[in-house]
Structures are given as structure tokens and as C-alpha cells.
């Protein structure tokens, strides 16, 4: 994948049995740690079954184990679920408390995580005008990343 995609922003790192954010330490289970490691090394969002394929050697052998660990990683805001791709992505800003949008490139499959904190008040205000109370926002934008867009124009 090129620099406009996910691989540019994720770099392999050490195993993280403890993640520190928002003045709290999160102790990961062994399964959560293994799955977080797989996602940190991935070059694209992975489905639960793609994660399972990469964790069998670590002793994670059943989909429920994957889904339970992913649920907790999402709860701790260390992983995101990309709804339209039915796939999971490690969070670029682990532990953030703001909602994010995902820019998904239809050409290369790259996904960029984009914080919504500057747009969030306007979105919530607009929805409030319609009597809707927003608890959480999940925004996915589809198109071409800058590199693919430049390539298609030539």
C-alpha cells in the first residue's frame, strides 16, 4: 500500500500488555493483547475471520474468542469497527474520547481515521434542531485517497 493509506500511519511496535490513557491503565487479557498485536501489524482493516487465521498458532481457535476480545478492545477505544467493511482497525489515537470518521479508499483499500472533534458540535447541534439526541457518531466516507485520486487523473 502507498503512503496515502493505512500503512503509513501504523508501525509495528512492542507488545502492549498495559495501555495507558485518560489517566487510567487498562490491563489487556492475553487474547486481547494477541489480537491488538495482529491489528497493529496489519496493513489494512481485518475481518474477524482474518484475525482468527493469524491467531490460531497463539491458541485462539474460535470466533467467540475473537469477538469477545474485539468487543473489549472497542470498549477501551483501542480498536474501531469499520461497519461497511465488516472489519476492524487499530485506533490511531488510542484512548481518545472523541468520535471519528473513516475515509475509505475504494481503489487501494486504505483507511484513514479522522477525528470529528471540530465537526462534532455542528453535527450534534444540527441533529438537536430535529429533536434527535446524538450519543455516538459513526461516519464512513468512501472515495479515493490523495494518491489514488492523483493516479486516476493522469
Q: Is 108 annotated as a binding residue?
A: yes
Q: Which residues of 79-117 are buried (b: 16+ CB within 10 A; e: fewer)?
A: bbbbeebebbbbbbebeeeebbbbbbbeebbbbbbeebe
Q: Is 105 annotated as a binding residue?
A: yes
C-alpha–C-alpha distance, residues 50 and 85, integer Å:
13
Q: Is 145 annotated as a binding residue?
A: yes
* Burial class of residue 69, CB neighbours in 10 A (0-12, 13-18, 19+): buried
**Nearest partner of 88 among 17, 135, 38, 131, judged by Cα:** 38
Residues making up the binding site for Zn(2+): 105, 108, 145, 148
Residues making up the binding site for Fe cation: 120
Residues making up the binding site: 105, 108, 120, 145, 148
Amino acid at each position: 500500500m502507498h503512503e496515502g493509506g493505512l500503512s503509513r500511519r501504523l508501525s509495528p511496535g512492542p507488545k502492549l500488555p498495559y495501555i495507558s490513557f485518560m489517566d487510567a491503565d487498562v490491563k489487556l487479557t492475553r487474547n486481547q493483547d494477541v489480537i491488538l498485536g495482529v491489528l497493529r501489524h496489519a496493513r489494512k482493516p481485518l475481518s474477524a475471520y482474518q484475525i482468527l487465521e493469524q491467531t490460531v498458532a497463539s491458541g485462539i481457535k474460535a470466533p467467540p474468542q475473537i469477538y469477545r476480545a474485539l468487543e473489549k478492545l472497542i470498549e477501551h477505544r483501542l480498536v474501531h469497527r469499520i461497519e461497511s467493511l465488516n472489519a476492524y482497525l487499530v485506533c490511531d489515537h488510542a484512548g481518545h474520547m472523541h468520535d471519528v470518521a473513516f475515509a475509505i479508499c475504494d481503489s487501494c483499500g486504505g483507511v484513514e481515521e479522522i477525528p470529528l472533534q471540530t465537526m462534532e458540535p455542528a453535527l450534534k447541534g444540527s441533529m438537536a434542531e430535529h429533536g434527535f439526541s446524538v450519543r455516538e457518531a459513526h461516519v464512513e466516507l468512501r472515495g479515493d485517497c490523495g494518491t489514488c485520486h492523483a493516479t486516476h487523473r493522469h
